[in-house]
Amino acid sequence: MTVRVRFAPSPTGMFHVGGARSALQNWIYAKQQGGVFVLRIEDTDAARNKPEWTEGILSALDWIGISRGSYEGPYFQSANAGEHRAAAARLYDSGRAYYCDCTREDVQARTGSQYQGYDGYHRDRGLGPGPGHALRFRTPDEGTTVVVDLIRGEPTFENKLIEDFVIARGDGSPVFLLANVVDDMTMGITHVIRAEEHLPNTPKQQLLWEALGVKPPIWAHVPVVVNEKRQKLSKRRDKVALEAYRDEGYLAGAMRNYLMLLGWAPSGDREIVPWSVIEDEFRLDEVNLSSAFFDEKKLRAFNGEYIRALPVAEFIDACQPWLTGTGTIAPPPWQSEEFDADAFAAVAPLAQTRIAVLSEIVPNVDFLFLASPLIDEAAWTKTMKDGSAELLDDAVAAFEALESWDAESLKSTLEAVGAERGLKLGKTQAPVRVAVTGRTVGLPLFESLEVLGRERTLTRMRAARLRLV
């Protein structure tokens, strides 16, 4: 038997990080088993679907390493509507489903409770199809439904506790439960790997598989992804869009590595590992049962490690979208003609050790490419205190006298200026840094001044001095 897994997102919004994890888990499992990864776009929610969301899914999968052409599909659920309706008809004709025209209010009136499930009122009343008549599956009265799950063992559900659920609406359109089952049957899906939030629907889907005369797939329900409050990640509350992390400057390798650790870990006391190790070691039966905490701080630290591991040339290339404002990246504060590739290359190794996401490259190097620095007014107020004007005067004079404009000479010169005032280097260089870069933190100061050059450095220091008059 050829293993066939599927990833079936809906094109109704940005690509969720939890969905990205599921895609990767399916992808790796299929690869390990010599199987097939199928992409199915569940696009039957016409009111919310947009073509750009579909393209966003394909683009996001490309980014995390599931490239177009390497999987089967994409298929679109809407193209299978005829099969969905045919399956509903077969279930009705075989007596496994029946029509019902009860409203929610009808059920509440009969049961006396708004929390009571459907009471089976129309099971044997012989109601036929018609406008407003929903089709309900006839759940067995006795016995149990056993779900074979590679992660959770064999969860068992008593059939008598499963209500006769709707499989087609009053207008004849199949609901998600039935459409999902029919699509999986049509595509020959053998393993369904998805989040545990779908587990309550699984016995219903398994009953549908069996009623349609097809052996159910093997299930694997991975732990749900939660935030720091242990709440399920929500688009309305949490930062969950994979595209947002991509556009902020997270590396695909770091994101892949981190997502695979949500509920699983490689052997040994390690977390940051080559992708080849994850592909080799990942096992569904080793996935934890408890919820997986999506820790953005930890992801950020991961990304910083991946950035620092890049060869400098690759780091320079990776920064280009933020330096040039290409694609969806916001344009930098400088004009294209102001950008100096050689100057950036000179400071790139310094910046590489200090940023955790690629978008942070812009505030770290903008002072190199602007006619004057962008002054952080809070930093100015905090730093430019009594004595700063005179210190800048002395520093300008000392820098003007330098024969060699290099980081070591600049450092020793400013140390001497501070020593005459009884100041340590940290206190001495703070006004100079703000004058030249506009900020109190950034790249190593003296290496930055060396790249910026004598003329531009002195011009900025003099301008800061005039502002202090």
Give all strands of the β-sheet with 191-195 in edge-to-edge order.
Answer: 72-76, 36-41, 4-7, 191-195, 218-222
pLDDT (mean) for 327-335: 85
Neighbours of 326 (CB within 10 A): 10
Among 187, 301, 243, 190, smallest CA distance to 64 is for 243
Residue 115 pLDDT class (50, 70, 90 cuts): low
Cite the active site residues: 235
Alpha helices in 130-193 (DSSP H): 176-186
Nearest to 6 by CA among 190, 168, 224, 176: 190
C-alpha distance from residue 451 to each of 234, 323, 345, 447 (Å): 45, 17, 10, 6
Residue 428 three-state SS? helix
pLDDT tens for 201-215 read 999 999 999 999 999
Q: Which two tokens stand for residue 448?
A: 């930055």
70-84, 97-111, 145-159, 397-411: least confidently modelled range: 97-111
- For 213-261, the DSSP string reads T-PPPEEEEEPPEE-TTSPBP-TTTS--BHHHHHHHT--HHHHHHHHHT
Rg (CA), the chain: 31
* pLDDT for position 119: 86
Rounded to two decimals, the pTM is 0.91
- Count of CA atoms in the C-beta half-sphere (13 A) of 242: 27
Structure tokens given for 10: 């809906």
pLDDT at res. 237: 87
If you average pLDDT over every residue of the chain, what do you get? 94
Query: Checking DSSP bridges between strand 225-226 and strand 166-168, what pairing results, if any?
Result: unpaired
Residue 75 burial (CB count, 10 A)? 19
3-class SS of residue 134? strand
Give ∠ CA 365-257-284 in degrees, rounded to 5.
165
Instruction: pLDDT band for 333, please (50, 70, 90 cuts).
Output: very high
The two structure tokens encoding residue 50: 């947009």
| 48 close to 12: Cβ distance less than 8 angstroms | yes
- Please check whether residue 252 is in contact with residue 65, taking contact to mean a CB–CB distance below 8 angstroms: yes
Position 329 scores a pLDDT of: 82
- pLDDT level of residue 325 (50, 70, 90 thresholds): confident
CATH number of the 84-176 domain: 3.90.800.10
Q: Say which CATH class 372-467 falls into.
A: mainly alpha
β-sheet bridge partners, residue 99: 135
CA pair distance 97, 193, nearest whole angstrom? 28
Residues present in the chain in total: 469
Strand 144-146 to 156-158 pairing? antiparallel
Q: What pLDDT does 45 receive?
A: 76
Structural tokens at position 16? 């969720």
Q: Is the peptide bond before 274 cis (omega within 30 degrees of 0)?
A: no
Interval 410-455: pLDDT, tens: 999 999 999 999 999 999 999 999 999 999 999 999 999 999 999 9
Which pLDDT band, with edges at 50, 70 and 90, does 350 fall under? Answer: very high
Q: What confidence category does residue 108 fall into, taking pLDDT thresholds of 50, 70 and 90?
A: confident
Q: Could you tell me what percent of the chain has a pLDDT over 90?
A: 87
More confident residue, 451 or 1: 451
CATH 3.40.50.620 fits 4-76+177-224, yes or no: yes
Residues 139-198 pLDDT 10s: 999 999 999 999 999 999 999 999 999 999 999 999 999 999 999 999 999 999 999 999
